[in-house]
Structure 1
Amino acid sequence: MSQVPSSQSNGSCIRRNSTGSPMLVVIGSGSRPMRGYLLEQTAAHYPLLLINDAPLTWQKPYVVDHEVANLSDPIAVNTAAASLAVRWPIAGVLTWDEYHLTAAARLAHSLGGRPGNALAAVAAARDKVTSRQRFAAASVPSATSTWVHSLDAAASAAERVGYPIVLKPAAHAGSIGVVRVDTITDLPAAWAIASAGAAHQGPDGQGVLVEEYLDGPEVSVETVTRRGVTSAVAVTRKAVGFAPYFLETGHSVSAGDPLLHEVAPVASAALEALGITHGVSHTELRLTPEGPKVIEVNARHGGDLIGELVRLATGISLPLAAAALACGEIPNLRPTRQRSAAIGMIYPPAEGIVTRRDLRPGSDRHLEHFQWLCNVGDAATLTPSSTTPNNVRAGFAVVSGDSAHEAQQHLADVLARADVQVTPAVPRAA
């Protein structure tokens, strides 16, 4: 067991040395609990240069050099990269952050055509309005969708689509601002949450989508695309809770999952429709009675340590695959394991102030990683609101097993031993 995922990966190419070997530029490290494994696994085999929005802390052991820049400013990112290029030869560009995809595409192009996606393809993936239009044009099954900018327009669109519907910001991630609406009576409160999320979604999309609700289990397909040819590596089965929100409470990956053959062609078609020709992608779908339908395409690694689940289950390192692609090389996608892995999210029991967090003793033989995401004294929010469009998780656990059933049993044991207590928040006087 470890609190930071350890580096265990297959394949290698450019190793760190002092002779000026070509290096990879990473835009944004992300947070250590959820993204640290990406930096660690990649740095074990490739020398890395980091452009980050703050000085180095935990990233220091994994980075040869760095620049601090405003990651939302393309000019600042390119200026930082130019400074690094004076000091080091640059082989390619990486990011695993949804909000830096366009910056990475621009930078790869400006560095003399390093491997990467066309900016138009990345923009189409980021903007769900454009995504839906391209899916429809290419006959890729997905949700019926209407782009709106007001509550009145949302009400009209919902009447046309038919309840239940889903509201979601046009260019956000992490299920922020996504809410199911069952009746017109519920629409105003749901609109407040969706529009609050949309207000912070950045420049890659505006407004809110009103979509038909896709009924059925949710999955994602983890893919690697090289020169327009997509290989489906794994399917991730998801657990979603806290209705009417779509908060992901867990994920599981099994090597050889037969579902992969059913959903992989749909994911590949969605990537092709968007023009994605390069990189690791994470395509979310629902298994509806009419067949798999696309929810959205993320042209980057899946969150919630999904890439680590893939490695634990199959032995394939998606971080190293992305690094190889960024260098213009062929990634190693050969499975070396036949196992299962799962992650479960720990949520606070109620809103309030965290007074206790503890993992009670038990068998940790199958526990791969455990991480608290809150401290005693932190304010815990359980579900989104119009003022806090996302929630706060208390922690997570990652386990492995010889089968999906065994992994779920191990996960249930660990989650049952995780104790989070809060002092409920006192409602404000009217």
Structure 2
Amino acid sequence: MPDTAQSLIIIVGGSDQLYREYSHEWIAAEYPIAVITAEPPTWQRRLIVDHEVADTRDSDSVRAAGRSLALRHRIAGVLTWDEFALVPTAALAADLGLSGNSISSMSASRDKATSRRKFAENGVPSAKSTPVDSLVAAAAAADHTGYPIVLKPASYAGAIGVIRVDTAEDLPAAWSFTTAGATGQGREGSGVLVEEYLAGPEISVECVTIEGRTTALAVVRKELGFAPYFEQLGQAVTAADPLLPEVAPVAAAAVQALGVREGVQHVEMRLTATGPRIIEVNSRIAGDLIGVLVRLATGLDLPRIAADIACGRTPELTPSEQKSAAIRMLYPTHSGVLTTREISGSPDLEYPWLERFRWEHAVGDNVILPPEGNLETARIGFMVVTADSQSQAYERLDLVEKRLVLQVSSDQDRDSESVPSVVAL
């Protein structure tokens, strides 16, 4: 093993700059980083000391890249926040003799059919779920489950291919939508699931697991839109959320049912009339800047916590802040060409609580909502604020949004004046 001055951590995948750069930055403040990415690094270069290019969805490719890095550096740990790289990262950790979750637990996390089975076996409240491979089988499963149902790919992420189906007449079109989405799903699961629709507010619980013991750190309140799809319009985190004592045991039971022993987990659930019920467990740091919200509201640094655990250190789990933080995603009300995107004045100077404001699309871009599009094609931008309470956070989001001018043209008004078009929470 090379004799280097300081060990480094390998990060596998997770190369989306807009939503993942902060994770690299926060870890780089403490650890030298090497990355394994599908393409040569670009924006990561200022934050890393080395890299390898590999197919981050393939265990053999990731293991070979990791072994090459290990020939040049002393490796302290491996980590990913890329949903599709969970199993290859577990394989690399085992290959290098490092701490990490088992391949079987990461496979169970990735394959939602296996997750549902393990939840049922361990008495974790979840949804009825039936794997199917044809429209005929889906119709039979839906009749047995009872409408409304949810169709989803077995091993995707980001709500791609997920749709609520209210009636049997809606099923054929919904089946086409989900199976189209399922073509890009991960290797750990296959086919489509017919699931019971869980009515009630959706939340997530951000958890940390060390040596098999899970601690719930924060609750994320979610805003969803564009039914029957499940697009996330925004999230809010409040330190010491009163829901935490109620949902923490359910989240911990779900993590443990999958055999997850360490790391950071993003546990999604619905607050139903019969109590909290699990949607799924993502065995990684959440997307959509939820890690930023958690740090702004509580002071807890999820990327640093995940890195500490991967490298065998004891992380800091005591909150140092008592605030609220919220993010709002900006969507058009219809698909079309973005013709105007402006924000009046200098709100970043006037509003010290406006932590981030970013555009995701430029004027002239097509913005496309589901079912033709997804979150990458639909979101125009986002804003993040802090406050003393969740209600104040939403008031502040409203203040910023009033200064926005967003216009999207569509086929029917392409020859006329563009119409204002933005979704508000």
1:419 to 393, 405, 409: 405
Offset at residue 70 of structure 1 (A): 1.9
Offset at residue 259 of structure 1 (A): 0.1
**Separation of aligned partners in 1, 2:56 and 2:82:** 11
Offset at residue 87 of structure 1 (A): 0.9
**Separation of aligned partners in 2, 1:389 and 1:371:** 15
Quick check: 1:109 aligned with 2:94?
Answer: yes
Quick check: 1:259 aligned with 2:259?
Answer: no
AA at the equivalent of 1:403: S
AA at the equivalent of 1:169: P
AA at the equivalent of 1:160: H
**Separation of aligned partners in 2, 1:38 and 1:411:** 24
Offset at residue 73 of structure 1 (A): 2.5
TM-score by length of 1: 0.92
Offset at residue 80 of structure 1 (A): 1.4
Q: Deviations over 1:36-88 (max 9, x none)?
A: 11011011111101111112211111101111122123222122111111111
Paired residues of 1:384 and 1:390 also in contact (CA < 8 A): no
**Separation of aligned partners in 1, 2:78 and 2:21:** 18
AA at the equivalent of 1:399: V
Closer, same or farther: CA 23–147 of 1 in aligned 2, 3 Å:
same
Closer, same or farther: CA 237–325 of 1 in aligned 2, 3 Å:
same
Quick check: 1:149 aligned with 2:136?
Answer: no
Closer, same or farther: CA 245–390 of 1 in aligned 2, 3 Å:
farther
Paired residues of 1:20 and 1:88 also in contact (CA < 8 A): no
1:236 to 205, 220, 228: 220
Match of 1:13 in 2: none
For 1:213-252, list aligned pairs within 5 A.
213-252=197-236
Quick check: 1:195 aligned with 2:179?
Answer: yes
Offset at residue 420 of structure 1 (A): 2.3
Say which is worse superposed, 405-414 or 300-309, in terms of deviation. Answer: 405-414
Q: Which runs of 5+ in 1 are unaligned?
A: 1-17
Offset at residue 384 of structure 1 (A): 2.1
Paired residues of 2:366 and 2:377 also in contact (CA < 8 A): no
For 1:144-183, list aligned pairs within 5 A.
144-183=128-167
**Separation of aligned partners in 1, 2:22 and 2:293:** 11
For 1:2-401, list aligned pairs within 5 A.
19-112=4-97, 114-361=98-345, 362=347, 363-385=350-372, 391-401=377-387
Match of 1:4 in 2: none
Q: Deviations over 1:354-393 (max 9, x none)?
A: 12211222443211011111112211102223x8797521
TM-score by length of 2: 0.93
Secondary structure of 1:59's counterpart equals helix
AA at the equivalent of 2:47: Y
Secondary structure of 1:319's counterpart equals helix
Aligned length: 408
Structure 1 residue ranges, 4+ long, deviating more than 6 angstroms after superposition: 387-390
Offset at residue 417 of structure 1 (A): 2.5
Say which is worse superposed, 392-401 or 414-423, in terms of deviation. Answer: 414-423
Paired residues of 2:7 and 2:73 also in contact (CA < 8 A): yes
- CA RMSD, 1 decimal: 1.5
Identity of aligned residues (%): 52
Offset at residue 426 of structure 1 (A): 6.4
Paired residues of 1:281 and 1:299 also in contact (CA < 8 A): yes
**Separation of aligned partners in 1, 2:405 and 2:150:** 33
Paired residues of 1:349 and 1:421 also in contact (CA < 8 A): no
AA at the equivalent of 2:388: D
**Separation of aligned partners in 2, 1:388 and 1:238:** 18
**Separation of aligned partners in 2, 1:271 and 1:59:** 31
AA at the equivalent of 1:320: R
Q: Deviations over 1:232-272 (max 9, x none)?
A: 11010000111111111000000010101000000000011
**Separation of aligned partners in 1, 2:371 and 2:287:** 19
Paired residues of 2:109 and 2:115 also in contact (CA < 8 A): yes
**Separation of aligned partners in 1, 2:388 and 2:303:** 23
Paired residues of 1:346 and 1:415 also in contact (CA < 8 A): no
